[in-house]
Structure 1
Amino acid sequence: MSRARTFPLPIRQLLAWMLALIASVMLAAAGHAQEVPVEARYGDENIAVQLFADGAPNAGEEWMLALRFTPRSEEWHGYWSNPGDAGQGMRLTLDLPAGWAMGEPLYPVPQRLTISGLMNHIYEGTYTVLVPVKVGPDADLMDVGPITGHVEYLACTDKICVPQDAVLASRQNGDFARWRAEVAPPLSARANFDIGSRVLRLAIPLPASVALDNPHIFIANENLVDYAAPQTFRRVGDVLTVDIPLAEYRADTPSAVEGIIAFGEGTGVEFGAIPGDVPTGGEIVAGPVGMATPPLWTLILGALAGGLLLNIMPCVFPILSLKALSLARAGESEAKARAEGLAYTAGVVLACVGLGALLLALRAAGEQVGWAFQLQEPGVVVALLVLAAAITANFAGLFELPSLSVTSGGKPAGAFATGLLAAFVATPCTGPFMAAALGAALLLPVPQALLLFALLGLGLALPFLLLGFIPALRRMLPRPGPWMERFRRIMAIPMGLTALALIWLTAQLGGRAFGGIALLLVIGVLIALWIVGRLRQAGKLAWPAFGLVAAPFLAFAAIALPSVYEAKGAEARESIHNPQAFSAEALAAARASGQPVFLWFTADWCVTCKVNESVAIEREAVRDAFEEAGVVTMVGDWTVRDEAITQFLTQQGAAGVPLYLWYAPGASAPEQLPQVLTPDLLVAQADQSLGRPRPTGPAAGSD
């Protein structure tokens, strides 16, 4: 349970917390007394307390006592052992016979109370704390009377805190069966923890069947974590991992971490963690991203609209030549147009669902991957390079193959293959409406996630599908004729540029030698296809010749490419801003400097990223504005797989790149900028950090 309250009078708040501090100091000073006092110093008028004993003790066994706290009205609350940002835990002294020992008190699952950004761990209403006592093995139980003691604690409302104490004497007839059920039971399995520079990570063994309605971790170690900071929960099989930001001025690294994990509605378990491995990845089940997931219907519309907009995004332009020629041919026959429309749509949707299913499976297995993950694999990029080069040569008339022809004799199989290719090549782009949908797809249950991927494919295929089923739209297209052959040759230009871009990308991924061998492979395959085309024109058997010519090039590439591959390391990209390379530590240091921070994530295979960098980021006006405002620039390069970047993207609700974040000085969370940037937008962000008004005209509208 969590409550958040704010008050309009800061003076009253300050007075309340000063009183709480004074009361805490008074309790701390009184806590130095070890003997049970004769009478109480402050009394228990606001929260009364009684001590109960569970029957008679037995020598050498554990005996349970219970402290029952009862507020006089609902406005008063008590505190857990770690009170949080303010308050005071209980101090208990028991007058026990020699050889007896008091154990650690056992608490129910606490509640959260946030006032003015301060998080307290409290109990509202009546609550019970169990106190186990280890009875000495040689205890003389004949003369044991009521157990006496003294307890000091704090009673607070939202406006005032007062110290309380009571002299105790145990009594019988307590409801120990119910009280035992109310305390947080211990987790039988051991948990692990790992402490980084900015976050405490926990791995808690917890069956996936345990429902987590509103989870929260209450850390018993004081001054270790930021109590009010958002906590991120992920499932990795039957292990629950939790990320909790550390306190700004935290204590030394502990040898163990203890606490209570609350599932919601007052239920939870007590756990203990030791240093150990904490899995990465997994599905976010709660946290700053997961709890903010938009309604499913908005995600559905976002996926559909995002797929539709992919048809005009720059990264999809290389495949527009295939679609344009196919759509022009759709006017030949209504039946053929419908068949091709359905086949193309099936190819696009199947590719999107297949890529989405593979993405979810890899993440469930603990892999840190995101949307367009296949383009981070050098082998996949080499295969795309060969395919793009073959299509370019086909368009240019170097050879003619039925499977690649789009100007005559079109068949549903060809449209289906074109749809597969369209979806596969389109994955580097995430349009303005796709970001939320794809980010949420990584958090939702698998059926809903696959639905979003399918609707993304449907949006991408929708224009072609409509042309196939609406004759009026097809009649708007030019009639088939000789012009189509000329148009096909013109379309070889953008496809050739795509192939050149892929050659550059292979060199970026694996080094120059890697790119050179990939280019040699392309030349070999094109020679083989040219020979096949010539033999087919002569009416001769062609495919054996393809195997004879292409096989040596394929064999050489299969051996040479892995041997010359040079993995690309994390480094800052060349830029007029001289940005730092992204890391969690570098980002924390930049934010701690008190200057605004502009962080962007990009990849060499992301055309949208490249367009934004050329049009908006790499501009002198932007550089000058950033320098004037003292903006710290930082870039994360996601060209090759980087688990730290993938995890950070997931935390921000992004499934891929581009992602642009602006950290204002002192802000607790970044502002996520749109995926289509303009120079005016970035200049306006810098001006705003200097206190200048943000434009409300066209520049602001570029958001």
Structure 2
Amino acid sequence: MAFFRYLASLCVLIGALVALPVAAQETQRECPRGPDLMDRGSARLVAGETIAPGESGQLALDFLPNEGWHGYWRNPGDAGQGMCIDWDLPEDWQAEEPLYPVPQTYITQGLMNHIYEGEHAVLLPLMVPEGTAPGAYEVGLYADWLTCSDTLCVPQRASLSTTVQVGEGGAVHPRFAEWSAAIPPLIDSTARFELTGSALRIAIPLPASLEIGDPHVFIEQRDVVGYAEAQTFYRDGDMLVAEIPRGGLRAEPGELRGLLAFNDEGEGVQFEAVPGNVPTGGTRIGLGGVETPLALLLGGALLGGFLLNLMPCVFPILSLKALTLARAGGEERQAKIEGLAYTAGVVIACLALGGLMLLLRAGGAQIGWAFQLQEPLVVAALLVVATLITANFLGLFEIPSLPIRTRGEGGAFATGLLAAVVATPCTGPFMAAALGAALLLPAPQALLLFAALGLGLALPFLLLGFVPALRRMLPKPGAWMLTFRRVLAVPMGLTALALVWLAFRLGGTSFAFAALALAILPVVALTARRNGNMLVALIAVVAALYFAVSLPFRVEEQVASSESVLEPVAYSEAALAEARASGAPVFLWFTADWCLTCKVNEQVAIERETTREAFEEAGVVAMRGDWTRRDPEITRYLEQWEAAGVPLYVWYPSGGEGEQLPQVLTPAMLAELAEAD
């Protein structure tokens, strides 16, 4: 049965595509006449109010398709066919462009059509010339349109006529007022639009007091936007800003016309747009807005931040700070001061990172959480810090001012800053919803979420400072602490090695070598200085300065992608649209080399032979978005799923809409999805 349903859907698409004009850039088409055929419904031409000479009036073309069948808007979308009309008018009469009600969206096999289900009426403006004598005039037309069901598309044709009363007299059809009310009004202000390589952005003047539920923009011109792509909306005062991915299409009209639907109840407005500046930022609206209560989001951020303490680059820092409290011998006041200072450092760092991200996004930058690790120079700086900490743990040198060695509030504050910077690259469990919401909420609430994340990260050390019972559970100071510190050098050293790999992925071989040299040379200088060899220390400092100065010039433009047993397609908006249009199931995952959760999931569930075999058997298209480097297309897609960062996993079943998978994948999850499709 599944095969026959798929075959029927394929027939619908083929029929609709065959009917679609091959090179149509305009929505109007030629209308050669043929014999009447209305076997999938009916249509009638209905006159409106009496028309005065020299003025315009309206007719209504009322369509009544059979149950289960639908017609199309002026621009039918990915498939289908718009209506054409050939008029029979009295001499010098003129027909103007048809007026359509707000259409509905219909998605099948990954393609979106703009349709009308059930009865609908298109209004036809008609201009009566000056000097026309009063009386009744017969007006006719020939119409050609396409009617489709879930399994079949059938062209329909009809020659229709009605009587138009000019001057005085004539009766108005009782449904005409209803049909007229369904036509969205044209806003009296001109909208502005701008085209980028990947998106259309439109600024539509609309009063801020007007409530909009789930908006959708219908563009009249063809091949401008990807119809099935998710649309994003922002409110900026009395301006509604829509961002629509282009889906690989490249038409660039000099002006735009379209409809803005407010909801799925047929309410909306028409607009005309010219090229111009479109504001950035604003408040996100629509179904992409935030529905989760703020209290739950704060709880998720708090718990997510708490779990970040288990990361290998944070746990050693937290452990060393805990041991400083043990070494302090239970000084109540000092423990509280250090707990508050550490917390202040963590929270301020999280607020700074979050605030900078929001500020850059308001300026139009396509970035997300952990954007700092997409910058090669930032990674090089973190590599230097991680290497110094590792060497310090190993006892190669001692620096009293190093954050992890300093007692007191100054050292605790600096350690908090460091812990936040190295702990926040990945979105882990419980964090995804909170950080995704932070991209949509007003700035004060978003910053509150970042503060909650920082508080969660600082919570263990804060509790140690304020709960004496927890401090008493810490082991007594002794010689074992030196051994423990050296053990902690192992995860910090692994973190440094991971940063070397990330430097290679971001900047290439030459950049990674220079960054590694820049990280090792300060250790050499400090160790030599400790041993009294000042010449070696000076040479190391000079060499470190050379590598530091040359570092920005070593970043390579292109770096090879990581190998994968699934041989995935590189993500792009056009590639995803093509894969979905093929009718095959699609598994799309977004990863980054700096994301620990991503790499664990890949080893556990993605990069497996059983997954590859299941995908091959089911014909699954594997697609990967690598966010190691900044990529605006990936950032936009993450926003559509309200994800502030990676990992993100989305499964598209055959011909269906995407389903977001959990952030922690089980070994058999993907194979089971492929087998079930």
TM-score (norm 2): 0.75
Aligned to 1:340, what secondary structure does the other structure show? helix
Looking at structure 1, the residues matched to 426 and 374 of structure 2 have their Cα atoms a distance apart, in angstroms, of: 14
Letter in 2 for 1:261: L
Give the corresponding residue for 1:398.
Answer: 396
**Between 606-615 and 429-438, the greater mean CA deviation after superposition:** 606-615
Name stretches of at least 5 consecutive residues in structure 1 with no aligned partner.
1-9, 22-30, 35-40, 58-62, 536-541, 690-703
- Provide the secondary structure at the position in 1 that maps to 2:668: helix
CA distance in structure 2 between the partners assigned to 1:613 and 1:80 by the alignment: 44
What is residue 82 of structure 1 aligned with on the other side? Answer: 74
Q: Residue 401 of structure 1: SS of its match in structure 2?
A: coil
1:103 and 2:96 equivalent? yes
| Contact 2:86-2:141 at 8 Å conserved across structures | yes
Structure 2 distance, partners of 1:514, 1:352, is: 28
Match of 1:682 among 667, 670, 674: 670
SS at match of 1:52: coil
Q: 1:603 touches 1:638 (CA, 8 Å); kept in 2?
A: yes
Offset at 1:381?
Answer: 0.7
Cα pair 1:193 1:202 within 8 Å, conserved: yes
Deviations 1:140-168, CA, capped at 9 Å, x for gaps:
x38566776357999x9x9xx99986322
Kept after mapping to 2: 8 A contact 1:83/1:121: no
CA contact (8 A) 2:139 2:161 kept: no
The alpha-carbon deviation at position 473 of structure 1 amounts to: 1.7
1:612 CA drift (Å): 2.5
3-state SS of the aligned residue for 1:420? Answer: helix
Contact 1:283–1:443 (8 Å) recurs in 2: no
Question: Which residue among 128, 131, 138 is the counterpart of 2:125?
Answer: 131
Question: Could you say which residue in structure 2 is the equivalent of 1:188?
Answer: 190
Change (3 A) 1:644 1:179: closer
What are the within-5 Å matches in structure 2 for residues 271-350 of structure 1?
271-272=271-272, 285-286=284-285, 290-291=288-289, 293-313=291-311, 316-317=314-315, 319-326=317-324, 328-329=326-327, 332-350=330-348
One of 545, 560, 579 as aligned partner of 2:550:
560
Does the CA-based 8 Å contact 1:220-1:258 persist in structure 2? yes
Paired residues for 1:61-460 under 5 Å: 63-67=55-59, 82=74, 95=89, 97-98=91-92, 101-106=94-99, 110=102, 112=104, 120-121=115-116, 129=123, 131=125, 133=127, 139=130, 141=131, 143=133, 149-150=139-140, 166-170=162-166, 183-185=185-187, 187-192=189-194, 201-207=199-205, 210=208, 212-220=212-220, 229=228, 231-235=230-234, 240-243=241-244, 258-264=257-263, 268-272=268-272, 285-286=284-285, 290-291=288-289, 293-313=291-311, 316-317=314-315, 319-326=317-324, 328-329=326-327, 332-404=330-402, 406=404, 410-460=407-457
Please state whether the residue corresponding to 2:49 is helix, strand or coil. Answer: strand
Cα drift, residue 344 of structure 1? 1.4
Q: Give me the whole-angstrom Cα distance separating, in 1, the residues matched to 2:250 and 2:136.
A: 40
Q: Which segment is superposed worse, 473-482 or 523-532?
A: 523-532
* Paired amino acid for 1:101: Q
**Shift of residue 578 of structure 1?**
3.1
CA deviation vs aligned residue, 1:337-372 (integer Å, no higher than 9, x gap): 211111111111111121111112222222221111
Native 8 Å contact 1:52 1:170 kept in 2: no
Residue range with higher mean Cα deviation, 89-98 or 338-347:
89-98
**Residue matched to 2:588:** 599
What is the CA-CA distance between 1:383 and the residue it aligns to? 0.8
Q: In 1, are the aligned partners of 2:290 and 2:441 still within 8 Å (CA)?
A: no
Partners in 2 of 1:252 and 1:372 — Cα distance?
Answer: 35
**Contact 2:184/2:270 (8 A) holds in 1:** no
Structure 1 pair 319/587, CA: closer, same or farther in 2 (3 Å)?
A: farther
- 8 Å CA contact 2:379, 2:503 repeated in 1: yes
Identify the residue that residue 640 of structure 2 maps to in structure 1. Answer: 651
1 or 2 for the larger relative contact order (CA 8 Å, sep ≥6)? Answer: 2
Whole-Å separation in 2 of the counterparts to 1:581 and 1:114: 28
Contact (CA 8 Å) 1:378, 1:510: kept in 2 or not? yes
Asked whether the 8 Å contact 1:604–1:639 carries over to 2, the reply is yes
Task: Give the direction of change, closer, same or farther, for the CA distance of 1:243–1:172 in structure 2 (3 Å limit).
Answer: farther
Change (3 A) 1:594 1:270: closer
Query: The residue matched to 1:202 in structure 2 has which SS?
Result: strand
Cα offset, 1:374, TM superposition? 0.5
For residues 217 and 665 of structure 2, what CA distance do their matches in structure 1 show?
Answer: 39
Is the partner of 2:476 in helix, strand or coil? coil
Equivalent in the alignment of 2:28: none
Structure 1 residues 113 and 428, CA, compared in 2 at 3 Å: closer, same or farther?
closer
Question: Taking structure 1 as reference, are residues 69 and 105 closer, same or farther at Cα in structure 2, changes over 3 Å only?
Answer: closer
d(CA) in 2 for partners of 1:521, 1:222? 54
Report the 3-state secondary structure (helix = DSSP H, G, I; strand = E; otherwise coil) of the residue aligned with 1:311: helix
| Structure 2 residue matching 1:149: 3-state secondary structure | strand
Over the matched positions of the two proteins, sequence identity in percent amounts to 47
Moved more, 361-370 or 325-334: 325-334
Q: Give the conservation status (yes or no) of the 8 Å contact 1:282–1:365.
A: yes
Indicate if the aligned counterparts of 2:438 and 2:449 stay in contact, CA closer than 8 A.
yes
Count of residues in correspondence between the two structures: 622
- The gaps in structure 2 that reach 5 residues or longer are 17-30, 150-155
Contact 2:59 2:126 in 1 (8 A): no
Distance in 1 between the 2:303 and 2:226 partners? Answer: 39
Instruction: Kindly indicate whether the alpha-carbon contact (under 8 Å) linking 1:661 and 1:671 is maintained by their aligned counterparts in 2.
Output: yes
- 46-55 or 449-458: which moved more? 46-55
Letter in 1 for 2:639: T
Q: Could you say which residue in structure 1 is the equivalent of 2:26?
A: none
Task: Summarize deviations over 1:541-570 as a string: whole Å, max 9, x none.
Answer: x9xx9997776345412431122221334x
- Please tell me whether the aligned partners of residues 87 and 141 of structure 2 are also in contact (alpha carbons under 8 angstroms): yes
CA gap of 1:270–1:194, structure 2 versus 1, over 3 A, is farther
The amino acid across from 2:164 in the alignment is L
Q: CA 1:500 to 1:321, structure 2 compared with 1: closer, same or farther past 3 Å?
A: farther
Q: 1:230 to 1:123 in 2, by over 3 A?
A: farther
CA contact (8 A) 1:236 1:364 kept: no
Distance of 2:480 and 2:568 partners within structure 1: 49
